[in-house]
Structure 1
Amino acid sequence: MREGCYFNETFSVTCNKTHDDLPKLYWTNSTIQITNITLEGQMRVSQFIAKDCYSQNGTRVLYKDPWIKVPLGFTINNTANKFIVVGCDTYAYVSRYRENRNYETGCTSTCDNKDDLVDGSCSGLGCCQMSIPKHVWEVEVTLNSFNNFSYVWDFNNCSYGFLAEESTFNFSASEFSRLRNVEMLPLVIDWSVGDRTCAEARNNTSSYACKSVNSECYEPANGYGYRCYCQAGYQGNPYLYHGCKGCIRSDQSFVFKLVAGIATGVSALLLAGCCLCLELNRRKLVTMKRKFFLQNGGLSLQEQLIRKEKSADMAKLFTSVELKKATNNFHNSRIIGQGRFGIVYKGILSDNRIVAIKKSKQVDPNQVEQFINE
């Protein structure tokens, strides 16, 4: 977009160093600073804020009413931007030109007390906002006060108005003081090529901007002229010769999606199989525990415990988790004796009592009663 490369002079940019020796980009030879440009037809610039401030006696002490005019092929974005007014004694409007006619629109922002303000809300109490029409190419913000802030001066003495990118502003009571020190906010501008339609532009091959072989032309919803884009299966810069580079072709994309779909399906089946296997193993373990419980006299033991539950020498039933913890998971270092049918371990209970825990190796069905008693 430098000289000798740009499509025409309205697309030229200038890179200048500022007082802090940092390079910044400006539109042509103007003071409009550019912060971002996209191939999709948008550009962000820094736009000044309108300000209107008063002293306690009602005298105006500060007034700014900025305006901006964009050249042919450029328009102010009517969806990303909003006209926003901040103040408790304020009415403001944005005006100038759209297409070849005048336009004017605005809103009122008032409040009687600081407690009326709601953070995040811009519906008329201390803040109001509205959209602008399509095809706007020049704007000016004008601020006015109903009573020169005489009744709200103790917490608000300034009005602020700006046409700016809506997503960059979130109203709060602190904006009354913060905006006093803010000079500019981002504004989204739509750009396109010239003022001709795609059909008209194609008739003049020398000036037709869609240079890449694999590019197409389209007409934007907001603004004039046309823009270019790379065809499906290509990406890059459609305004340069051979700028649209091939990416994944449609047949390759289909194969990729097919393989991805199969892989996803197989993964889902494997996951379902693992879950089913885990559930079957869990049920098998429950069945096995129940079998051993019955085989080793569990029912008889429960009956005896119920009969003796009021007895002074009532035995306590421990869980397998408690016994494992007491014996350090039946570690060999805890073994204090062995017999034909079981191993005796030294156990330390949670209350630090030392006990003997006998773990059965096997149970003789003919000696279940003895095992329970033991």
Structure 2
Amino acid sequence: MALQVVPLLLLLSSFCSATATSSSSSSVKSVQAKPNCPDKCGNITVPYPFGLGHDPNCYRDGFKLSCNHTFTPPKLLIASADTIIFEATDQDGVYKEVADRVLEVKEISLLQGQLHVYSFMDYNCYNHSLFVSPNKSSIVMDLWDTPFTYSDTRNMFTVIGCDSQASIKYNNNESIGWFGILQYGCSVFCLGIEETLSGNYSGMGFCQTTIPRELKSVGRKLEILENSSLDFNPCAYAFIADKERYNFSVADLSGFDFYRRNRGMVPTILDWAIENDSCENITMRNSTTYACGNNTHCYKSPNGLGYLCKCLKGYGGNPYLQDGCQGT
């Protein structure tokens, strides 16, 4: 049976282009920025409460993005200093912040309150009983003090690679630190190249599990338990990815191609919300911090603290601008 392999990054780019075309044709107003503020990074529109540049009036606190023009086309990046990514081998017990590991943004959805980003995968590889990378690899991503949360409805925790296992440690309480007290994960096994390549179910060559709601701080650990599958599967990978953008293929088990093909990144969905208050607090409507403009409705974030805004029925545009919702 011929296998069709579609790179994750190409798939996500195609999806974003289609979505952007659809959005622009149906409601141009829904992607407005504040007046005199930049609203584009390459072909990606940046709507308020997100914003670019050095003027703090162009974005809400925590929603600043940056546009890196050293790339062609330019890359849109999360610029918040509170978004922290660490990586280390588990052997030395020391986690070091990685300055160049910033999240690239591919799309911003005001209606769904979501960011489509590229996040990073863990990997370990054997090379004839020698490790190309450490046998225990860890990445920590901390979103505390940011408006972002991993989407529990769109993402899955995925592990690829024979005789490997990976786990996530997390917490829902910033005061106890990233390491937390809760842990889950999954293990992968293979019966041999023929059996593995003929199967396509969780546990044979790969495994997947859901992630919890309100996930903001996560530490991942990936281990290769044996090297019995070295000849056709020398590497293992672990990542949190959008289940609508990634489907396992047995070709992902072959060599280091999966990592190279996707540049070590996978499409991931982050939920976002205005986190400083709730819709139930009616007095906030008289506050200068209230995020919703005129002709809008406030509703609770479906994933954790905070709220989102949307235009009332019969209106369209950007609900986060004071007069962004206009009659249609």
TM-score normalised by the chain length of structure 2: 0.69
Report the Cα offset of residue 28 of structure 1. Answer: 1.3
Match status 1:68 vs 2:141: yes
Aligned residues between the structures: 242
Report the Cα offset of residue 21 of structure 1. Answer: 4.0
Match status 1:173 vs 2:243: no
Alignment partners' CA distance in 1, 2:172 and 2:119 = 18
Question: SS at the partner of 2:244?
Answer: helix
Deviation readout 1:225-276 (Å, 9 max, x if unpaired): 11001111111111112211112xxxxxxxxxxxxxxxxxxxxxxxxxxxxx
Deviation readout 1:71-118 (Å, 9 max, x if unpaired): 333210001000000011101012233344623210011102122235
Report the Cα offset of residue 120 of structure 1. Answer: 8.0
Deviation readout 1:251-302 (Å, 9 max, x if unpaired): xxxxxxxxxxxxxxxxxxxxxxxxxxxxxxxxxxxxxxxxxxxxxxxxxxxx
Question: SS at the partner of 2:313?
Answer: coil
Report the Cα offset of residue 62 of structure 1. Answer: 1.3
Q: Which amino acid aligns with 1:134?
A: R
Check conservation: 1:72, 1:195, Cα contact below 8 A.
no
CA pair 207-201 structure 1, distance change in 2 beyond 3 A: farther
Question: SS at the partner of 1:116?
Answer: helix
CA pair 29-195 structure 1, distance change in 2 beyond 3 A: closer
**Pairwise CA RMSD:** 2.0
Check conservation: 2:63, 2:80, Cα contact below 8 A.
no
State the match for 1:234 in structure 2.
315
CA pair 135-120 structure 1, distance change in 2 beyond 3 A: farther
CA pair 120-108 structure 1, distance change in 2 beyond 3 A: same
Q: Which amino acid aligns with 2:161?
A: G
Report the Cα offset of residue 119 of structure 1. Answer: 6.8
Report the Cα offset of residue 146 of structure 1. Answer: 1.8
1:241-280 → structure 2 map (5 Å cutoff): 241-247=322-328
Question: SS at the partner of 1:179?
Answer: helix
Check conservation: 1:236, 1:243, Cα contact below 8 A.
yes
Pick one of 10, 34, 40 that aligns with 2:105: 34
Alignment partners' CA distance in 2, 1:242 and 1:117 = 57
Pick one of 137, 155, 158 that aligns with 1:81: 155
CA pair 15-139 structure 1, distance change in 2 beyond 3 A: same
Greater relative contact order, per chain length (Cα 8 Å cut-off, separation 6+)? 2
Match status 1:111 vs 2:161: no
State the match for 2:57 in structure 1.
5
Match status 1:133 vs 2:212: yes
Check conservation: 2:62, 2:80, Cα contact below 8 A.
no
Alignment partners' CA distance in 1, 2:308 and 2:224 = 43
Deviation readout 1:187-217 (Å, 9 max, x if unpaired): 1000000242113364252110002x21010
Pick one of 197, 209, 229 that aligns with 2:291: 209
State the match for 2:267 in structure 1.
186
State the match for 1:52 in structure 2.
124
Check conservation: 2:188, 2:207, Cα contact below 8 A.
yes
Alignment partners' CA distance in 2, 1:132 and 1:119 = 28
**Structure 2 unaligned spans of 5+:** 1-50, 82-101
CA pair 69-86 structure 1, distance change in 2 beyond 3 A: same
Match status 1:96 vs 2:170: yes
Check conservation: 2:63, 2:147, Cα contact below 8 A.
no
State the match for 2:237 in structure 1.
160
Report the Cα offset of residue 44 of structure 1. Answer: 1.2
Check conservation: 1:217, 1:227, Cα contact below 8 A.
yes
Question: SS at the partner of 1:117?
Answer: helix
CA pair 226-14 structure 1, distance change in 2 beyond 3 A: same
Looking at CA atoms only, which structure, 1 or 2, has the larger radius of gyration?
A: 1
Alignment partners' CA distance in 2, 1:137 and 1:15 = 24
Check conservation: 2:65, 2:79, Cα contact below 8 A.
yes
Report the Cα offset of residue 125 of structure 1. Answer: 0.3
CA pair 35-202 structure 1, distance change in 2 beyond 3 A: farther
Alignment partners' CA distance in 2, 1:13 and 1:120 = 42
Q: Which amino acid aligns with 2:146?
A: L
Check conservation: 1:98, 1:134, Cα contact below 8 A.
no
Alignment partners' CA distance in 1, 2:173 and 2:287 = 27
- Aligned structure 1 segments of 4 or more residues deviating by more than 6 angstroms: none
Check conservation: 2:149, 2:216, Cα contact below 8 A.
yes
Question: SS at the partner of 2:57?
Answer: coil
State the match for 2:75 in structure 1.
24
CA pair 172-240 structure 1, distance change in 2 beyond 3 A: same
